[in-house]
Amino acid sequence: MNDLVVTNIGELLTINNHAGDRLGIVHHAALLLHDGTVVFAGAERDLPAAPGIERLDAGGALVTPGLVDPHAHLVFAGSRANEFDLRSQGKGYVEIQQAGGGILSTVRATRAASDEELLTGTLARLDRFLRAGVTVVEAKSGYDLTVEGELRLLEVLKTARARHVVDLAPTLLAHVPPPDADRDPFVRRFASEAIPQAAARGLCEAVDVYCDTGAFTLAETRTLLEAGARAGLLLRVHAEQFTHTGAADLAATLGARSVEHLEQLALDTPIRLARAGTVCNLLPGAALTLKLPWPDARRLLAAGCRVALGTDCNPGSSLTESLPLMMSLACMQLGMSCEEAWLAVTREAAHAVNRPDSGRLTMGARGDLVIWNAADHREVPQHFGVPLARTVVVRGRVAWTEA
């Protein structure tokens, strides 16, 4: 049996959505986890007697649900530090990509790497996510660009998921058209073979298409997403990052679960996304790295959209596992409140990855929690760029604790 009591919590975020308090804050709180699930979350004075159970004293600190990252490119090999340096001296991301670098340079390194090498890199990234307080990560394939190769990357993710405590929500990504194959036959094979096979083998829960200049057209994106819907997968779209393509409107029309980036948003799109219930995964790490305009979080929130935050962890446009840093950027540059930033990495991100038992600490929730080196939830986005997680519990067991 795996039982745990956490006592002496100064501030607990249950994400309980009380009227007027969407974070469900409880002071002087305690938690009781039974078999990896929350069975009590509330004021410490109401904690049921739990003799003989492992106890964790939070020392008056902030305790929150484990964070959920709804957008990461987790499995890849190689380094693009050289491009980072070139970009810092003014070269453009799309310019580098069109010269055969960028995503294609990671594709070459990934194709050349063994399963074991890819697994080692993926597990190391998951260790860094865990230390940042993240317990669920959406994980995309996308750096092989062949049908067989993309399925291999999903197999690596499946092994990583079995080996690591951090939960993965795998996504098959149609990233860019391969330079070494004809475009139309590739789209047809991706739709008729990669997507149905990945779904039938249980290798992914979602399909994602990158629609932009240098990636897939709007018509190709529709073909691929419709194949995903036929295979029963959740739909995601990398939309409106560099150029406005109409992909976010397509996402709303097809009832996509999430839409990513949105730096170049058209005026009437937010209301369509709000009506569709599509989660807007904002990725400030990519906007920061590529010097893109910040996504307009305020316009999305004002229209009633669901807004989540992701790291976009990838070797090119956002090399980070720090979801707390994305919260800082959201508060400092996107005009989001601390409350909105917390909801964006808990409830909203959990909905984006279809994990209704994550991103909250209420009865029946998964026992994933973080004890922070902070007393107040606003300190986490305020204190930026340094790791503040003290102890991370996954399914009722301590998975990591600072030395």
> Given 3-state DSSP classes, what are the helix, strand and coil percentages for the chain, each rounded to the nearest 5?
35, 25, 40
Give backbone dihedrals phi and psi of 59, rounded to 5 degrees, phi first.
Answer: 60, 30
Q: Is residue 90 exposed (0-12), middle (13-18) or buried (19+ Cβ within 10 Å)?
A: exposed
* Interaction partner, residue 14 (Fe ion, ligand NIG, none; CB < 5-8 Å by kind): none
- Tally of helices (H runs) and strands (E runs) in the chain: 16, 16
107 binds, among ligand NIG, Fe ion, none (CB under 5 to 8 A by kind): none
Member of 240, 249, 296, 312 binding Fe ion (CB under 5 A): 312
Position among 316, 324, 367, 381 found at the interface with ligand NIG (CB under 6 A): 316
State the nearest-atom distance from the C-beta of 310 to Fe ion, in Å. 8
Comparison of 167 and 312: residue with beta carbon closer to Fe ion:
312
317 binds ligand NIG (CB under 6 A): yes
The least distance separating ligand NIG from the CB of residue 260, rounded to whole angstroms, comes to: 7
Question: Which residue, 14 or 311, is less far from ligand NIG as judged by CB?
Answer: 311
Contact indicator for 130, 392 with CB cutoff of 8 Å: yes
| Count, residues near Fe ion per rule CB under 5 A | 1
Residue 305 exposed, middle or buried by CB count within 10 Å (0-12, 13-18, 19+): buried
Q: Are 5 and 38 in contact (CB under 8 A)?
A: no
User: 147-163 and 103-112 are packed helices; what angle lies between their axes, rounded to 10 degrees?
Assistant: 70
Q: CB under 6 A: which stretch of 57-65, 223-231, 310-318, 352-360 binds ligand NIG?
A: 310-318
- The arrangement of strands across the sheet holding 167-174 comes to 67-69, 134-140, 167-174, 206-210, 234-239, 258-261, 279-282, 306-309
Binding mask 252-291 for ligand NIG (x = CB under 6 A): ----------------------------------x-----
Pairing relationship of beta strands 3-13 and 62-65 according to DSSP bridges:
parallel
Of Fe ion, ligand NIG, none, which one does residue 317 interact with (CB within 5 to 8 Å by kind)? ligand NIG
Segment interacting with ligand NIG, rule: CB under 6 A, options 100-108, 200-208, 337-345, 378-386: 100-108
Which residue has the CB atom at the shortest distance from Fe ion? 312
User: Could you give the angle at which helices 115-131 and 147-163 cross, rounded to 10 degrees?
Assistant: 50
Window of 101-109, 181-189, 192-200, 329-337 that interacts with ligand NIG by CB under 6 A: 101-109
- What residues are paired with 232 via a beta bridge? none
Residue 167 binds: one of ligand NIG, Fe ion, none (C-beta under 5 to 8 A by kind): none
Site for ligand NIG in 195-234 (CB under 6 A): 210
SS3 319: coil
Binding positions for ligand NIG, rule: CB under 6 A: 73, 102-103, 106, 210, 238, 241, 286, 312, 314-317
